[in-house]
């Protein structure tokens, strides 16, 4: 018969590790057999507490097997446990904090405002460029139109002048005009001593007007050129214009002839240049008026 021994207790194998730690750290009650001195018991108790604590931590650290099978890694159990505890494990260790979704609302608004301002400036620049091009095109068109109008006006004026010239060409006005401007008479119509030969009592059939060589000579009246060329008799380069009413005018000693035989000229039209060709002592124009085949004093016609 087993008699219970006072001071001893039956070991309970079902006692948990926490219970064992509690018993080890609790001072025993009742009377026990003094197997060792008090200091030895204290050291043994502390060692037991440490061993029990280490065992408990080891048990807690062992991963619980997943219900799906033995082959799945323990990391999935840890992830499940972490999810159960409300923890979020980052999928990417290299996190970026400069993404747009991480920027503050104020920064996003500022970026949108800057983009809108840039677009507005771009649109304004395009509008200004288009306006400048439109203005340049309008100015070019206006200049072209002005030039065309000016050219048309010049053509119209030329046609009008040609029409007036054609209307009066070949027709005498009845009044003769001076063949050169600012005429300076050096010898009149009548008898005189010949300046070339010195012969006296020779008839001077016209009026001499002294001017510089190259001075323009104009037709005294409208008519038809019946003679234009060099006269062997002493007149040099000579032009004869026939007017109506049996009237003719002659232009002698010319430097150059500007009309041709048979040409119709208007009153005041340039027909040649003053010179000193033929029997001449200097630059002058010998001007004659012929009425019905007879030379007359030009002074009565001018």
| 3-class state of residue 147 by DSSP | helix
Is 286 annotated as catalytic?
no
Return the structure tokens found at 220: 């005294």
Beta-strand relationship, 270-274 and 294-296: unpaired
Residue 176 near residue 297, CB atoms below 8 Å:
no
- Within 10 angstroms of residue 295's Cβ, the number of other Cβ atoms is 16
| 3-class state of residue 136 by DSSP | helix
| CA angle, residues 179, 185, 189, in degrees to nearest 5 | 90
Give the active site residue among 204, 243, 284, 286. Answer: 284
Residue 254 near residue 273, CB atoms below 8 Å:
yes
Residue 169 near residue 265, CB atoms below 8 Å:
yes
By C-alpha distance, which of 287, 284, 282, 281 is closest to 300?
Answer: 287
Q: Annotated catalytic sites, by residue?
A: 284
């Amino acid at each position: 018969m087993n008699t219970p021994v006072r001071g001893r207790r039956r070991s309970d194998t079902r006692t948990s590790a926490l219970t064992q730690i509690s018993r080890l750290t609790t001072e025993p009650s009742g009377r026990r057999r003094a197997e060792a001195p008090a200091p030895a018991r204290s050291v043994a108790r502390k060692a037991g507490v440490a061993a029990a604590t280490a065992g408990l931590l080891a048990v807690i650290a062992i991963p619980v097997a997943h219900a799906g099978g033995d082959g799945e890694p323990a990391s999935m159990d840890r992830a499940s446990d972490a999810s159960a505890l409300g923890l979020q494990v980052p999928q990417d260790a290299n996190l970026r904090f400069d993404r747009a979704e991480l920027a503050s609302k104020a920064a996003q608004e500022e970026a949108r405002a800057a983009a809108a301002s840039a677009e507005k400036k771009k649109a304004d620049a395009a509008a200004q460029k288009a306006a400048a091009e439109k203005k340049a095109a309008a100015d070019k068109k206006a200049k072209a139109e002005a030039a065309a109008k000016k050219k048309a006006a010049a053509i119209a004026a030329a046609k009008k002048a040609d029409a007036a010239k054609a209307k009066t060409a070949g027709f005498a006005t009845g009044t003769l005009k001076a063949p050169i401007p600012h005429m300076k008479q050096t010898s009149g119509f009548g008898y005189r001593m010949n300046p070339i030969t010195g012969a006296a009592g020779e008839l001077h059939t016209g009026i001499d007007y002294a001017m510089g060589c190259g001075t323009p000579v104009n037709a005294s009246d409208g008519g038809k050129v019946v003679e234009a060329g060099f006269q062997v008799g002493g007149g040099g380069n000579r032009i004869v214009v026939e007017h109506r009413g049996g009237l003719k005018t002659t232009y002698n000693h010319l430097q150059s002839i500007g009309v041709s035989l048979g040409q119709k000229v208007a009153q005041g039209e340039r027909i040649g240049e003053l010179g000193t060709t033929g029997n001449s002592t200097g630059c002058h124009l010998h001007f004659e008026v012929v009425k019905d085949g007879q030379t007359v004093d030009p002074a009565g016609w001018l």
